[in-house]
Amino acid sequence: MSWQSKLLGLHMRWTVKPWLARVENPGDFSSDVDMLRPLLRRPPFLRRFSRPDGLTWISASLTRENAAILYFHGGAYVAGSPDGYVGPLAQLSTLSGVEICAPRYRLAPEHPFPAAFEDAVRAWKKLRRLGYRPRDIVIGGDSAGGGLALALLSRLCRRGTPPLAAFAFSPWTDLAMTGDSLTENADLDAMLPADRMAEVVDLYLNGRSPTDWRASPLYGVYPDCPPVLLQYGESEILRDDSVRMAARLRQYGATVTEEALPDVPHVWQILDGWIPEARASLESTGRFVQSAFEDDATIR
């Protein structure tokens, strides 16, 4: 662990984690999360623009033609937006050589499950209408957005139209909260308070089953699954959501790459420019995306 990551972890442990633990209503911190946007660094030559169907696109360099990363932001299904991810996603676009489409999706409690999943499906369909084929698209996301990406992956695999590949940063895959890391890492996690997770689940699910695969992709099926990259921290309370997700995908013959780092904060990848682990993980993701497109070109 770098000294920058160690220092940041201490800061989060003494400021961010207590703040999240004392928020009276988890559904009220959306505006506070948006205040963090200025802290996420942006690369030079950043471009953000819209195309038909209202999709937001992000890049910062030359990109591959007829290729897209469909990325879903995190925020526990109650907060966040693509606006807060422009900098890190632009950097990922540069490192992968692929434009990134970052759609908005409806948030709880105003729009509980399955609204977010329905919006993820709608974003996929919009890309298809723009002329992108399944093998032109890599899907990804972080935290709750990583769960959305993997739930969408299950739907697409079921229908025989899987994307080229998928990746997820510390995905939330089990809203039934059965992973041992929720208790084992409760004190180790520098950011997320484990004892508030059930409240967020209730806000989002609004009485629906926590094992519905559209909310908890750990319980999904993945026939003919493409390659998947999962990055997660060993000290996160959501560690087992990735570990068990990898095992689930492998049951269906998927090639899964796991990259587990010690003592990094939740979704450290968005902290590019602040900790070296963020850039290293984004570079690895960029290589994963590039390799997927290059392998597909070779097969064709």
Domain limits of the chain?
3-299
Residues 3-299: name the CATH superfamily.
Answer: Alpha/Beta hydrolase fold, catalytic domain (3.40.50.1820)
| Residues marked as catalytic | 143, 236, 266
Identify the residue with better confidence: 175 or 13.
Answer: 175
- The model's pLDDT over 72-115, given as tens digits with 9 standing for 90+, comes to 999 999 988 888 889 999 999 999 999 999 999 999 999 999 99
pLDDT at 38 over 80: no
- The model's pLDDT over 111-160, given as tens digits with 9 standing for 90+, comes to 999 999 999 999 999 999 999 999 999 999 999 999 999 999 999 999 99
User: Residue 49 — pLDDT band, cuts 50, 70, 90?
Assistant: confident
Distance between CA 151 and CA 167 in Å, rounded?
12
The confidence score (pLDDT) of residue 72 equals 97
Q: What is the mean pLDDT of residues 283-296?
A: 94
Q: For CA atoms 200, 278, 37, 167, give the dihedral sign.
A: negative
Q: What is the mean pLDDT of residues 193-205?
A: 92
Identify the residue with better confidence: 189 or 225.
Answer: 225
What does pTM read for this prediction? 0.92
Range list of β-strands (E), the chain: 47-50, 56-59, 68-72, 99-101, 137-142, 165-169, 228-233, 256-261
The confidence score (pLDDT) of residue 24 equals 65
As a whole number, the mean pLDDT across the chain is 90
Q: What is the mean pLDDT of residues 241-262?
A: 97
Q: What is the mean pLDDT of residues 162-177?
A: 98
- pLDDT above 70 covers a percentage of the chain that reads 90
Q: What is the mean pLDDT of residues 209-216?
A: 98
Residue 215, both tokens: 């909310």
Q: Taking each helix axis as running N to C, give the angle between helix 276-299 and helix 3-11, from 0 to 180 degrees, rounded to the nearest 10.
A: 110
The confidence score (pLDDT) of residue 32 equals 47
What secondary structure does DSSP assign to 9-47, as a single string? HHHIIIIIHHHHHH-S-GGG-HHHHHTTGGGS---TT-E
- pLDDT above 90 covers a percentage of the chain that reads 70
User: Residue 288 — pLDDT band, cuts 50, 70, 90?
Assistant: very high
